Structure 1
Amino acid sequence: MKVLMGPDPSQIYRPDGGKNKEDFRNYTSGPLLDRVYTTYKLMHTHQTVDFVRRKHEEFGAFSYKKMSVMEAVELLDGLVDESDPDVDFPNSFHAFQTAEGIRKAHPDKDWFHLVGLLHDLGKILVMAGEPQWSVVGDTFPVGCHPQKSVVFWDSTFQDNPDTKDPRYCTDYGMYEPHCGLENVLMSWGHDEYMYRMMKFNKFSLPPEAFYMIRFHSFYPWHTGGDYRHLCCPHDLSMLPWVQEFNKFDLYTKSEDLPDVSMLRPYYQGLIDKYCPGVLCW
């Protein structure tokens, strides 16, 4: 398996000289903790097999809005992610921070730069009227017992009806061993929506890009080491790409916000190359 050689986050991912690696994703203390916990409690109560299937049907026609990628980026100017314990500024800045971190470390992979810009655009679902608990935050498989690395695992699932359904309350639940993540029903949110939107609009990006978009919030898998009993060899071959992307998604977050006006022309060029024009969202 090819090992990606991105930089060590403990060395370079401090754009403002602030946080160390271990300071990110603190779910035990901090000024935003109450908001974050409430978001996850709602998510873990209401994200069920039936709920996810309804959302696939509701949004699967991509009839919400027609707009370009850059117009979608601009919509995120109005969104602060209520599940994020690290930042309290609009998500559009995070998109450019992530993209620029990737661009510096992987200058020869322009498609990878674009993934950084695209990865959270599925959060426009909030503008479509969806509550944040069904859009943001870490994802997890529904239809099987939640694993211990899921955020707030021990205090937020008690009221989820699937945890009491014998079809869904074991480690495998409704799945077969090593069935592959392609065959797993993930909790509904911006990852799955954006992945499906990219497929629907035929983005000309490599398979690794689609995989990173689809599973970048699946922290219990790519960081927690759980759910490997559902993975097939293809999932494990893609895991290093998701982990490489995660370095930039997480450790580039900083209150030192980028000058978007200076960056926009470069990324518009990538959009024109890989996903041009007015798209269906």
Structure 2
Amino acid sequence: MCACGLDHPGSDFFMDLEIVSLPFYLLRPEKIYDDKPVTAFRDYSIDDNDPIRQRVRKTYYTMHTYMTVDFVKSKMDKWLKFNHFKATMKEALYRMNELVDESDPDLNLPNIVHAFQTAERIRQDYPDEEWFQLIGLIHDVGKVLALYDEPQWCVVGDTFPVGCKWDKHIH
């Protein structure tokens, strides 16, 4: 176990996460993108023939339509009582096996794959910053709320200030 409090790949912790031991380590989805230019990622352009882009567009459209100040306040009233569920970080990460992020144009696999991709990329670039690797691993764990009856559009994706006029570049 390292200073970050987690075991690194190959440990029992990671092997307990079934989806990680299969697609992430065997298929390595990011390998198919080795030759893809960085500018080609996070492509939110419209393509009516691409079901993933359609899904992403619908998610953001719904978010931008219904994410109001009153809506956010109602969610704060609901969730900040902390009485809906209790989970360890390991349990919450494991639940990410059940969620494919509808706002992600680059990955159509369970969100835990993204969590480990992020942590591993940070480890590659910042090997001595174990705290940063941990943040990369857990940065999206709040998406677990989608597994407790919240629509994905209110817990995934890039977020924007509510109550402010949209920038002209946001569609």
TM over 0.5: yes
Q: Which has the higher helix share?
A: 2
Residue 43 (structure 2) aligns with: 26
Q: In structure 1, which of residues 115, 123, 145 is the aligned counterpart of residue 143 of structure 2?
A: 123
Q: In structure 1, which of residues 29, 46, 50 is the aligned counterpart of residue 70 of structure 2?
A: 50
Q: How many residues align?
A: 138
Matching residue's letter, 1:24: F
What does 1:1-281 align with in structure 2 at a 5 Å threshold?
15-16=31-32, 17-28=34-45, 29=47, 30-150=50-170, 152=171
SS of the residue aligned with 1:138? coil
Distance 1:141 1:89 in 2: 28
Q: CA deviation at 1:15?
A: 4.1
Q: Which has the higher contact order (CA 8 A, sep 6+)?
A: 1
Q: CA deviation at 1:19?
A: 2.0
Deviating beyond 2 angstroms after TM superposition, the runs of 4 or more aligned structure 1 residues are: none
Q: CA deviation at 1:31?
A: 4.0
- For normalisation by structure 1, the TM-score amounts to 0.47
Distance 1:20 1:64 in 2: 42
- Greater CA drift, 64-73 or 90-99: 64-73
Q: CA deviation at 1:69?
A: 0.5
Matching residue's letter, 1:23: A
- For normalisation by structure 2, the TM-score amounts to 0.76
Residue 278 (structure 1) aligns with: none
> Alpha carbon RMSD of aligned pairs, Å?
1.4
Structure 2: gaps (5+ residues): 1-29
